[in-house]
Amino acid sequence: MSGGHGMDGAQAIIGQEPRFLDYMHRLEDHKRGRRAVHVHIAQLQAESRHENHLGLAVNSFDDLVKRTLGQLFQMSNGDLIFVFRASVLDEVESIVVKLRFLFGEDPLLADDQDQPSGPFATWYDVEKDYATLLKLAQRLQMAAKQQRAYRVAKTRAPEARRAPAPTEPLTPELLASVEEALAQADLANHLRRQSVCVIVGHAQPKRLFDEVFISIADLRQTLLPKVNLASSPWLFQHLTETLDRRVLSLLIKGDDRSLSRDASINLNLATMLSEQFLVYDDNLPHNARGSIVLELQKTDIYADLGLYQFARDFAHERDYRICVDGLNHLTLPYVDRQRLGADLLKVVWSPEMTEPSPARDAFAEAVKRAGPSHIVLCRCDDPRAVDFGQELGIGLFQGRHVEIMLDAADDQKLARGRRRT
Amino acid sequence: MAALEGKAPGQEVTSQENLFLQAVERAGKVPDGRVVLHFHLSQLRAENRSTGHLRIALRSLEPLASAFRGQMFLLSDGDVVVLLTDAAPASIDAAVTRLRRLFGNDPLVFADSGDGENRFLTLYDLQRDYRDLFLLALDLEGEERRRRDTPQRKPPPPVDPRSLGRVIARLENADLRPMIRRQSAVALADRKSARVAFQEFHVAIADLQRVAAPDVQLTGNRWLFQHLSQTLDERVLAALQRLAVSRPPPAFSLNLNLATLACPGFRRFERWLAGRIGLVVELQLVDIFADLASYSVARDWLRERGHRVLLDGLSDLSIALCDVGQFGADLYKIHWRPELADGHGRESLRAALESLGVERVVLARCDSETAIRWGLELGIGVFQGRFVDAMLTAVRMGACEYAHRCTLVQCSQRHAAVDRAGRSACFAKAVLDGYQPFGLPPRRAKEKS
């Protein structure tokens, strides 16, 4: 790509209206096969725009800019315009989805979940829309005077809890022994992470955040090979809470800084109000909270909606995102995300979802109502999950299949890197 | 004071109240630019002032305190006081607003606007209000000493898995009947004629606590308590088939775990009452959410057999956060709270009740006539609670020739009991188990339209 700015990477400088106008003029004879997207950061409400999120947004385009597949312009009001080759449309779309999550709690976006071209992002085909784009460049140039700002919204999904094969029932005594064993055990080795990714079209998945958890399935094999944990949902709930607290204390003590940003953790409401959580909160790097998702079990929420409301408001005040965990295609229609004031809903993928039935229709309707961009489809074990989710407009995925896609993408990146050197 | 003087110097405990008093005295010497915010968090509803809630409240005030050389004190009654120096009014406002928003669902916050009386927060300007503040600090300190010197019974620790195992073992051979109570729900078709719609049977937690768990607090852990209730369900069902009550109510209403409905014990119970006594199964929102598929199967099965499903434990809050009507229950039980009478959220609640079908709504925990009047005004027709119990008892005693030998409380307790021992002191069992028709007291003049 011509222009010579590509190597600047994402270190765009605010107030590039003149450069953008100049670029548009130069493009006049090279319009074919190029697209542009205008991301309307400036229209976001002031409180949802955080300085540090601007950087995150700009960085998202880094990769494409470095590969000279597009150019990024940052306006003085904070708006971003990215002009790129049509061949990477899918990738750009997934970046825009990611940005949407960064700014997800803004009312501007609330009305904008379904249509690809809404108030948050405007898409252009440079060839067809050249005149419009040129006018836009001129207008921006004239109006160049405001500021930037910003902020992040995020989400996430679970995969942690897998039902085991049954035999003996779980009793209070067994639970006590297990929890006593857990208190002694070094669980650091059992800490797992799994990415929640944006996947748009056939583009490679982009990591949005990693869920950090202790796999109950693993633990069960070690501690309770014969016990059917599902035999008492309430005792099981108690066990998961104990584990969630252990994860929190591991995170507090641990030195893996990568877990203190773009991560999600499972919490119960009582723990959110605990001293331990406040210590965790203290230890997070400045401005990292906006990229941390707190996953709450639906059971915990509906057991005490008053406590949920209190904990949610506190979490939002601290800039965390709230994800309702433990949903499936049958329960989703019963959850009202907007009324609950949650940022994300995590739904377990199951092949049943794809079979035509009234339940499937109800699910599709519920996805639409909640806003597809607020849904994470998790436990995506096979490619059908992603295809199906995308059909419904869902962009966030988690699961073994997603991990495989990520690995493949990493391999490709590596290979590309080698070719260059 | 005297009690404290008797103590050796080393025994004195430095309380937050004491520190606050000292801080006020020090600050009083340079009162300029100093303010104290007194948050009356002890007046929050019990469920909103747990240790966790207070911890978060303090955390929420921390930025304000650290910005203006503040000192925070968590008083022993749960109130919070913050002493600030040269604090910008806008920063105070922002912090107060933040805290008010957190507790926005509590009547302490939403019920204090308008009348000039701020129940949530009192603000003292040291230059102007030093005397008031000093007296307050002095009173708080004295009160705390008195409390500390009065021996207090420590509440037992919350139940844990180990102690739950012991409790369940202890209950294994216990007769549950003495712990079972009943309470009527009354349908007011019009104000002149009332009838018992159904009777709720439940295990009295206080009895359970006394018999099986004197050393732990059974309700101290939600999930373990829920597990306990599930282990008791089938046994309660068995016990209900051996009641000492001479005349069963038109319908039994039972709090059951969803999982119990799939147990053989429940099928036996259903066969036992089928065709004679109606059944209302009361389920919790959390239980339904945990297993929706089982819920819809169980609900349809119950309905086919002529029974009803009731969604229990609803409040204005749960109705606001969740569309409960989509669960397709036959009845919805809302718990009365006095602040409902203030009109808080009344219109949205009215709309929600109308969409549920107000004829399906039961208003429970009615402990005053205000509750009944509030419900009737919204079109609710079925009521339950202590006030309803008192009405029923009064009517029953009016029909009883031995009434002069008993008190209202005795009659009420004997009626609630379902085992022989609990009822033995009654002279007229037929009246005790009878369902006397009655009407409401006449409306007050101001209610007439």
A165 — pLDDT class (breaks 50, 70, 90) = very low
Structure tokens at A246: 């252990």
Say if A123 is an interface residue toward chain B (CB within 8 Å): no
Which of B53, B227, B318 to probe by mutation at the A interface, max A CB count within 10 Å? B227
Specify the residue for token string 């997934």. A94
What is the mean pLDDT of the segment spanning A372-393? 95
Task: Tell me the backbone φ, ψ of residue B339, rounded to 5 degrees.
Answer: -70, -15
User: Is the model's pLDDT at B446 over the cut of 60?
Assistant: no
Q: Answer whether B52 sits within 8 Å of A340, measured CB to CB.
A: no
The CA distance from B221 to the nearest CA of chain A, in Å, is 9
pLDDT digits (tens, 9 = 90+) for A44-57: 765 555 555 676 67
Q: Answer whether B289 sits within 8 Å of A331, measured CB to CB.
A: yes
Which of A52-61, A75-84, A98-107, A320-329 shows the lowest per-residue confidence on average (mean pLDDT)?
Answer: A98-107
pLDDT of res. A41 = 83
Chain B positions in Cβ-Cβ contact with residue A330 (cut-off 8 Å): 292-293
Hey, is A162 helix, strand or coil? coil
What is the mean pLDDT of the segment spanning B204-225? 93
Looking at chain A, the whole-number percentage of residues with pLDDT higher than 70 is: 83
User: Is the model's pLDDT at A12 over the cut of 90?
Assistant: no
Round to whole Å and give the CA distance between B383 and B381: 7
What is the mean pLDDT of the segment spanning B418-437? 87
Interface confidence, given as ipTM, is 0.88
Q: Answer whether A234 sits within 8 Å of B226, measured CB to CB.
A: yes
Q: Answer whether A176 sits within 8 Å of B161, measured CB to CB.
A: yes
User: Is the model's pLDDT at A218 over the cut of 80?
Assistant: no
Chain B positions in Cβ-Cβ contact with residue A173 (cut-off 8 Å): 161-162, 165
Say if A114 is an interface residue toward chain B (CB within 8 Å): no
Round to whole Å and give the CA distance between B60 and B62: 6
What is the mean pLDDT of the segment spanning A352-366? 90
Looking at chain B, the whole-number percentage of residues with pLDDT higher than 90 is: 68
Say if A275 is an interface residue toward chain B (CB within 8 Å): yes
Which of B41, B283, B286 to probe by mutation at the A interface, max A CB count within 10 Å? B286
User: Is the model's pLDDT at B312 over the cut of 50?
Assistant: yes
What is the mean pLDDT of the segment spanning B347-357? 89
pLDDT of res. A156 = 27
Chain A positions in Cβ-Cβ contact with residue B289 (cut-off 8 Å): 298-299, 302, 331, 334
Which of A252-266, A299-313, B5-19, B378-392 shows the lowest per-residue confidence on average (mean pLDDT)?
Answer: B5-19
pLDDT of res. A8 = 34
Q: Answer whether A339 sits within 8 Å of B105, measured CB to CB.
A: no
Q: Answer whether B321 sits within 8 Å of A339, measured CB to CB.
A: yes
Of residues A232, A330, A335, nearest to B293 (C-beta)? A330
Say if A278 is an interface residue toward chain B (CB within 8 Å): yes
Q: Which chain B residue has the Cα nearest residue A274?
A: B52
Question: Residue A398: CA atoms inside 13 Å, Cβ hemisphere, count?
Answer: 26
Q: Answer whether A176 sits within 8 Å of B327, measured CB to CB.
A: no
Q: Which chain A residue has the Cα nearest residue B54?
A: A273
pLDDT digits (tens, 9 = 90+) for A29-47: 888 899 999 998 877 765 5
Which of A314, A319, A330 to probe by mutation at the B interface, max B CB count within 10 Å? A314
Chain B positions in Cβ-Cβ contact with residue A303 (cut-off 8 Å): 222, 284, 286
pLDDT digits (tens, 9 = 90+) for A292-303: 999 999 999 999
The CA distance from B108 to the nearest CA of chain A, in Å, is 15
What is the mean pLDDT of the segment spanning B277-288? 95
Of residues A172, A313, A330, nearest to B164 (C-beta)? A172
Q: What is the mean pLDDT of chain B?
A: 89
pLDDT of res. B107 = 87
Looking at chain A, the whole-number percentage of residues with pLDDT higher than 90 is: 43
Q: Which chain A residue has the Cα nearest residue B99?
A: A314
Hey, is A196 helix, strand or coil? strand
pLDDT of res. B307 = 96
User: Is the model's pLDDT at A246 over the cut of 50?
Assistant: yes
pLDDT of res. B308 = 97
User: Is the model's pLDDT at A59 over the cut of 80?
Assistant: no
Q: Which chain A residue has the Cα nearest residue B98?
A: A317
